[in-house]
Chains A and B, each alone.
Chain A
Amino acid sequence: MRGLIGKYIRFNLAAAMEYRVSFVIQVLGMALNNSAFIFFWLLLFDKVGDINGYGFTEVMLLWSLAAAGFGFNEVFLGNGRYLSRIIYQGELDVYLLQPVPLIPNILCSRMNVSGWGDLAYGIILFLLSQELTPLWIFLFAVSCVLAALLFSSINLFYHSLTFYMGNGENLASAAYNMVLTFATYPGTIFKGASTWIMHTLLPAALVIWIPTELILHFSLSRALFLLAGDGILVATAYLLFKGGLRRYASGNRMGTRL
């Protein structure tokens, strides 16, 4: 499987590099796009000070983790958000026929170029705005990979609903964007029932808030709790996809992947 992922990365990168100028513009454009939010938070904190325990540095940590995790997912697991279309257009046949593990084969087969901008932005923001102790760097790196895995699981979960209810593309896209939106605001501003939703159906807490808290105040029991939560989310998405796959009917569509 490592060979498959490595080959996908090489091929996708080579394809992106065919349009080098476009690649550079997209990466720089996305990094610049994200930078705008630094000014938003700077201006806001300048006016209001502290927001429920979050200052400017803490929000930048939240942002660096969200951007890097999201970017990692878009670059290396970028096909997740096209899964509904692949299912309802009958294009899953192409992946099913190949002698490699199905889910990594689907997820890794596309690279969204602008994701490089998010990834680079997240890492640079972390390096510039946070304490660079070995523990923080380690926790940040692990959290980025886990966040990417969770973003992919959210895609897999919601797009798998297409197997059961017809075209679930809009719902899945809305869920993905909502998680990302919630994740870029301090979790402490949300109260009541909404926080339950953000720990379960739209798990911004698992993807970004709890890892951020862990980097700021590490505790082993909390880390284990987070890993258990991540495991449940990944397993649920996997089972939903597997169950859906049994309902999938081939469209007998002829296709080629180039």
Chain B
Amino acid sequence: MRHIRKYAKIFQCTFRDQLAYLSAFVTGQIFFVVIIFVFFSLWKVIYGKEGLIAGLSLTQTLWYLTFTETVELSKARIYLTIQNEVKEGSIAYALNRPYSYNGFQTARAMGESLVKMIPILILGFVTTLLFVGPLPGYARALPFGLVLITGGLLLNTLWMLNIGLLAFWTEDVTPFYWIFQKLIFILGGMFFPIDFFPDWLQQTARSLPFAFSAYWPALTMVRFSRHAFLTGLTGQVVYIILLGLTGSLLFRAAQRKVHVQGG
């Protein structure tokens, strides 16, 4: 319990810290509006006179993309923080502190991500509402969607923690991040719902960890069902545990590579 309080405090401090930069963050989100506009233009042409594609309407698809983008744009890029700490050697100062390095980075990243998520959700709501109108069932799905969006952010944070820790072995981990990001974009259903994939790929893509960062949270919001929510939640819990474990193993292995010199 004492441990949980410690990381909750770190989360709370970062949350409060990030609130101070909220206005600067919101004004920097013009790119989000542009992306929604591009998606709207593309999908409007694709839908043409079709009412539904793969069981989703244009309205549902655009709202779906707004939610997947929310997860993508809210994430705190901790792989860069970790990479810099490894490069500069300042990670040595973190090693003898009375907390787990992975736990500290995760709590901090979640504090930052959740502060970013709220304005992006609001901005996405207004923008998408203007383009395609309201999403049927939004209010009912929102509490469940928020749980899965938060779970998706935690999954992404753990991915980035694992990627950041690779800095102990390679000079620059950014290319690993790019590849991870593209796996979320395509296989995770961030650019379009997995329901649009060919049949042979759908089942596999739905079970991969990337889908639990983007597809399941967004699908729960646009086509709510208890089954979608529970599937999303179960998958997130499993992959969060797995990524947490690989993060611990990586950090343990990485610690053996640290050489601390006096000075």
Q: A-side interface residues toward B, CB under 8 Å? A: 19, 21-22, 25-26, 28-30, 32-33, 36-37, 39-40, 43-44, 46-48, 51-52, 114, 170, 174, 177-178, 181-182, 185, 188-191, 194
Contact = CB atoms under 8 A, between A and B. Distances in A.
14 contacts: A22-B172, A25-B170, A25-B175, A30-B175, A30-B178, A33-B179, A37-B182, A47-B196, A48-B53, A114-B174, A174-B30, A189-B42, A194-B37, A194-B41
B21 to A, nearest CB: 13
B175 A29 contact: yes
Contacts of A44: 46, 192, 196
Nearest to A25: B175
A181 B45 contact: no
Given A182-B38, A185-B41, 14 more contacts: A21-B170, A22-B172, A29-B179, A30-B175, A33-B175, A36-B186, A47-B53, A48-B46, A51-B42, A114-B175, A170-B28, A174-B31, A185-B42, A189-B45
Contacts of A30: 175, 178
B198 interface: yes
B38 A181 contact: yes
B245 interface: no
Contact of A26 (B54, B175, B191, B201): B175
Contacts of A185: 38, 41-42
Nearest to A182: B38
Given A44-B192, A47-B54, A181-B35, A22 B178 contact: no
Contacts of B178: 29-30, 32-33
B15 interface: no
B42 A178 contact: no
Nearest to A27: B175
A19 B53 contact: no
B24 to A, nearest CB: 9
B176 interface: yes
Contacts of A22: 170-172
B198 A46 contact: yes
B29 to A, nearest CB: 10
A21 B171 contact: yes
B34 interface: yes
B34 to A, nearest CB: 5
B63 interface: no
Contact of B172 (A26, A46, A51): A26
A191 B41 contact: yes
Nearest to B197: A43
A94 to B, nearest CB: 26
Contacts of A48: 46, 53
A24 B166 CA distance: 16
A43 B196 contact: yes
A190 B31 CA distance: 17
A29 B181 CA distance: 12
A28 B170 CA distance: 14
A162 B3 CA distance: 48
B185 interface: yes
Contacts of B196: 43-44, 47
Interface string B157-187: 0000000000000111011101101110110
A188 B172 CA distance: 39
Contacts of B44: 189
B60 to A, nearest CB: 15
Nearest to A22: B171
A220 to B, nearest CB: 30
A22 B174 CA distance: 10
Contacts of A191: 41
A111 B45 CA distance: 39
A196 B183 CA distance: 34
A51 B179 contact: no
Contacts of A39: 186
